[in-house]
Structure 1
Amino acid sequence: MNSKFLKISLFVCCCMFLSCNAQKGNKTTQTTVKKKPNLIIIHTDEHNFRTLSCYQKLLTEDQAFVWGKGNNSTTPNIDRLADEGAISTSYYASSPVCTPSRASLMTGLYPQATGAPKNGLHIREDVPTFATILRAQGYATSYVGKWHLAGHEKYTFNIKYKAGFDDNRYMMRGGHAPYFKLSQDGSVITGINEKVAAKLNKGEFVHVTDFFTNKTLEILERDKNKPFALMLSIPDPHTPDVARPPYDRMYKDLKIEAPKTMASEYTAIKPSWATDKTKNETIGAKSFENKKETSALKQYFGMVSHIDDSVGRVLKFLEDNNLVENTIIIFTSDHGDMFFEHNRRNKGVPYEASARIPFVIRYPNKIPAHKVINTAYTNVDFAPTILSLMNVKTDAKFHGLDTSKDFTNTKKVVDSDRITYYAKSGGWWVTAVNDRYKLVIDKKEKPYLFDLEKDPDELINFYYHKDYKDIANMMQTELFKQLKKYDEPGLKGKQSFITE
């Protein structure tokens, strides 16, 4: 063979080999760089943040155990998310009731711009959600559990508008029965209570938390080899406060005590916004003494433990499938539950137990472990923040801020005096809040300023105290600036809020 031809042939082969390997290397590099993070949101309903032991660890003893020393639930799986990621200590619902809060989480807008500022309304179909944006980026998007953004019907599915969730087969309009009755083929028939469930054979019914967690794991198994975004919305621990065995007896021996703020000297005179006469949510001392209400709290603790075990099942799936590092997993809720504080149940008021929500996030690829964030947020900030964490660009307009740098920076503790606000559904009261102070303004009530550091029970009004004059002015000025910017309905009407 001609030596010149041999040299040329060897050179060509070598080039082809190098080119082939370079292409393989580029492909590998591109795959690594462009690998999209997965997203899982586990969302509960009417969840008091104090019942998560990761929050209890950050609170003083009297605040961690408002129902008596040692009386609370434990949540090792949710705690693990906090330990391996970040926990937000001042995270609030945009409005502490179901529909408006959920609408804000989806859209990054205050409720008045979502089409769903009150319970039972439908989210606007022309407003982008984080799911519509992720779907356009090629994500497999799924929603499992309570929706409450498509009317008031209970235990119904087949919701026409999917809000960006391609798989919404298990998106339920609403309802809080503890069990589902199943047909022979396993499809859901209706929600049933524990008495009806007790009369059925095994396999004919399932607890709702188990049902939705099972469906979540089925979807994750299906989508684990592609970028996915899934939201699991568990209807518990909302009333009627029924835990399934063995969780129903897990806390039976606790000796529940009345919270300090339930005492008559604190509840005899309180702001008009602290009561809800239309819903009769005030607790009577007699019912508490007769253990009617304390039994409900023990069931509530049981539901929280059941939820935590369900979180554990999701975490195990991620571990078993090598998905931990590249999956963002979040635990949060739509609003809290007063559970006797200030002599109340349920939600809808500015108090911490009603409006403050848990928010724990783990993302090993970007968020340092053991991170505590004290900056005040509302769930209006969620959509822009999560999209930024996922490196997703969008032209969508948000009311909320992109706070992703708070989560990704190297600081173990993040503090800020940022002021944000939340409001009652319908706009009767508004609340400015930062990581220490809370200002509540109502059309028919004097202003209230709380110092959450000195008075975490929210019993003392510092608004007229001379030492708090500058703080009150600062909070009020910023509040009205934001109310105007976001077209808050509370500014409208014949009556106007106090401005001086």
Structure 2
Amino acid sequence: MKKLLLLAGLLLMVSCQSKKEIAKPNVVFVLTDQWRAQDLGFVGNKQVITPAINTLSKEAVVFTNAISNIPVCTPARASLMTGKYPLSHGLFYNDKPLRSEEICIAEVYKENGYQTGYIGKWHINGHPQGMKNSAGRQLPVTVNRRQGFDYWKVHECTHNYNNSIYYDENDVKHKWEGYDAIAQTKDAVKYMQDNKENPFVLFVSYGPPHAPYNTAPKKYQDLYKDMDIQLRPNVPEDKTEKAKEDIRGYYAHISALDDCIAELQQEIKKLGLDENTIFVFTSDHGDMLYSHSQVKKQKPWEESIHIPFMLKYPAKLKAGTQMTKMFSFPDIMPTLLGMSNLPIPETVQGIDYTGQLLGTEVLDVDAALITCPVPFHQWKYKRGGREYRGVRTEKYTYVHDLNGPWLLYDNLKDPYQMNNVVDQPEFSTIQADLEVKLLAILDKNGDEFLPGEEYMKQWGYNWDSNDSIKQAMN
């Protein structure tokens, strides 16, 4: 009898251990808007106040070369959801609709027993042709357009952070109380509390630190109101005062979000979910903030393309480490599914970094695509926008426009990209190697690098306003 009881006990222990080993991890994905990689305390910015993210960097894997392939809202978010490049999912222009038939990340989790939730900014619903963006962004995202997410407190796109509406699962309109990111965080906390017994995937999509820069709560603005902002050396002198003013507000939004991230992390630990939760912090793209006299995004410089990306998973990943290989938006979906031991759809074009992160594989990835198939809105042709394709490696940035090689920077020797060495004889071998890398990626993706109007025709898109009007490029 004792032997039988011992055997039963051993079988129970093995069963419990097996269940523990195969327990489905939760996923909390924090997506911010327009937060560039350079503006974090732990990377060396001594002015921006980000204690929670500094702590997170010691608990997570920091991806030091995370790139937004097409650094603008709708395209980046569509790549996040589908694991595909822009010319494959078709969202290379803001406010166009992601096809409902696309296989998206939440659908895979849902099919495998997960609760799915999305809170905040969406920006891949689009709207009917002929409708203005300002009107289209006010429409609810109907249930058949939510790409696998069930819990739903979402606005297509707003940056009115203190008067921010959202729609629930039944398309009923509500208003967030106060500064929306803080209210959204409280809602995310409640969602985790309600689903702590179930595996869940929750996306929390904040609007800040995207402009307007001067609308963070006063206590965060006060942190910076008297600070003499230290600008990046590539901000020209005539932009100094405006850059400092905007960056004070930008940092205020960042510090507000840092407190939100602290609250999320505290609740995950309080609920006992920390060990088995994959926690991601990132942004859809960066912000030029007057570097190279440029503003906003879409552009191929570091301030626009280089994004923060941290992945924390205590059950499997060593805290406080770095992943230095190139990593970009189509890679997020397969990597999260891989880390969750879930199947990766054949439609996915990105790479699963699970083996690289676990130390069981060394991926042969040495370049990330950066692209602008169609410049638009804030970087339309009349504002100097141009089509480009390029590669970002661990050391270099190399970019073509339709006329040929345009930019080449050695980012290690020239981190502020102030010396364009394209076509210089002493860099000819390096440029040739980067050209091979770029052409290989374009060939793999079936990207013919056509003028922007060709893609607009192929996808049947209308141009917004006067975006299609060209002028001679300098």
Distance in 1 of aligned mates of 2:163 and 2:3: 65
Of 340, 350, 367, which residue of structure 2 is paired with 1:419? 367
Of 294, 297, 319, which residue of structure 1 is paired with 2:269? 319
Distance in 2 of aligned mates of 1:493 and 1:292: 32
Of 48, 52, 56, which residue of structure 2 is paired with 1:81? 56
Q: Given the alignment of the two structures, is residue 178 of structure 1 paired with residue 161 of structure 2, yes or no? A: yes
- The equivalences for 1:270-289 within 5 A come to 285=238, 288=239
Q: Deviations over 1:136-168 (max 9, x none)?
A: 111111111100000243355443311111212
Structure 1 residues 189, 35: closer, same or farther in 2, change over 3 A? closer
Distance in 2 of aligned mates of 1:387 and 1:344: 37
2:146 match = 162
Contact 1:367/1:409 (8 A) holds in 2: no
Moved more, 110-119 or 229-238: 110-119
1:260 match = 233
Structure 1 residues 182, 483: closer, same or farther in 2, change over 3 A? closer
Moved more, 212-221 or 331-340: 212-221
Q: Given the alignment of the two structures, is residue 248 of structure 1 paired with residue 221 of structure 2, yes or no? A: yes
2:378 match = none
Moved more, 114-123 or 388-397: 388-397
Distance in 2 of aligned mates of 1:159 and 1:78: 34
Deviation, 1:330, is 0.7
Stretches of structure 1 that go unaligned for 5 or more consecutive residues are 1-10, 57-63, 65-69, 192-204, 265-284, 496-500
Of 90, 114, 125, which residue of structure 1 is paired with 2:89? 114
- The equivalences for 1:74-473 within 5 A come to 74-151=49-126, 152=133, 153-154=136-137, 156-160=139-143, 161-168=145-152, 170-180=153-163, 189=174, 205-241=177-213, 242-263=215-236, 285=238, 288=239, 291-409=241-359, 418-426=366-374, 428-444=387-403, 446-473=405-432
Deviation, 1:295, is 2.3
Contact 1:40/1:329 (8 A) holds in 2: yes
The code of the aligned residue for 1:80 comes to T
Deviation, 1:18, is 5.5
Deviation, 1:219, is 0.8
Deviation, 1:444, is 3.3
Distance in 1 of aligned mates of 2:100 and 2:266: 36
1:282 match = none
Q: May I ask how many residue pairs the two structures share in their alignment?
A: 429
Distance in 2 of aligned mates of 1:263 and 1:493: 30
Structure 1 residues 460, 181: closer, same or farther in 2, change over 3 A? closer
Distance in 2 of aligned mates of 1:53 and 1:147: 28
Deviation, 1:255, is 1.2
Q: Deviations over 1:288-335 (max 9, x none)?
A: 46x454222111111101101000001110111111111110100000
The code of the aligned residue for 2:119 comes to V
Distance in 1 of aligned mates of 2:164 and 2:332: 35
Contact 1:49/1:336 (8 A) holds in 2: yes
Distance in 2 of aligned mates of 1:444 and 1:19: 75
Distance in 1 of aligned mates of 2:174 and 2:105: 31
Contact 1:378/1:422 (8 A) holds in 2: no
> Is the partner of 2:355 in helix, strand or coil?
helix
Deviation, 1:462, is 2.2
Distance in 2 of aligned mates of 1:293 and 1:301: 12
Q: TM-score, normalised by structure 1?
A: 0.80
Structure 1 residues 121, 299: closer, same or farther in 2, change over 3 A? same
> Is the partner of 1:305 in helix, strand or coil?
helix
Distance in 1 of aligned mates of 2:449 and 2:164: 43
> Is the partner of 1:142 in helix, strand or coil?
strand
The code of the aligned residue for 1:386 comes to L
Contact 1:180/1:188 (8 A) holds in 2: no
Deviation, 1:21, is 3.7
Deviation, 1:425, is 4.3
Structure 1 residues 15, 257: closer, same or farther in 2, change over 3 A? closer
Contact 1:141/1:167 (8 A) holds in 2: yes
Structure 1 residues 344, 79: closer, same or farther in 2, change over 3 A? same
Contact 1:374/1:416 (8 A) holds in 2: no
Q: Deviations over 1:18-52 (max 9, x none)?
A: 57545533541332122111111101001121211
Stretches of structure 2 that go unaligned for 5 or more consecutive residues are 127-132, 167-171, 376-386, 455-474
CA RMSD of aligned residues (A): 2.7
Distance in 2 of aligned mates of 1:18 and 1:410: 36
Moved over 3 A (4+): 14-27, 152-159, 187-191, 414-417, 491-495
Deviation, 1:256, is 2.7
Determine which structure has more spread, i.e. the larger CA radius of gyration.
Answer: 1
Q: Deviations over 1:375-423 (max 9, x none)?
A: 1111111111111111112343321111223322299xx9977122120
Q: Deviations over 1:215-259 (max 9, x none)?
A: 111111111111111110000000011211211211111113554
The code of the aligned residue for 1:484 comes to D
Q: TM-score, normalised by structure 2?
A: 0.84
Distance in 1 of aligned mates of 2:162 and 2:138: 11
Contact 1:368/1:410 (8 A) holds in 2: no
Distance in 2 of aligned mates of 1:337 and 1:434: 20
2:437 match = 478
Distance in 2 of aligned mates of 1:83 and 1:386: 20
Contact 1:129/1:163 (8 A) holds in 2: yes
Structure 1 residues 181, 114: closer, same or farther in 2, change over 3 A? closer
Distance in 1 of aligned mates of 2:311 and 2:270: 20
> Is the partner of 1:180 in helix, strand or coil?
coil
2:12 match = 24
1:279 match = none
Deviation, 1:95, is 0.3
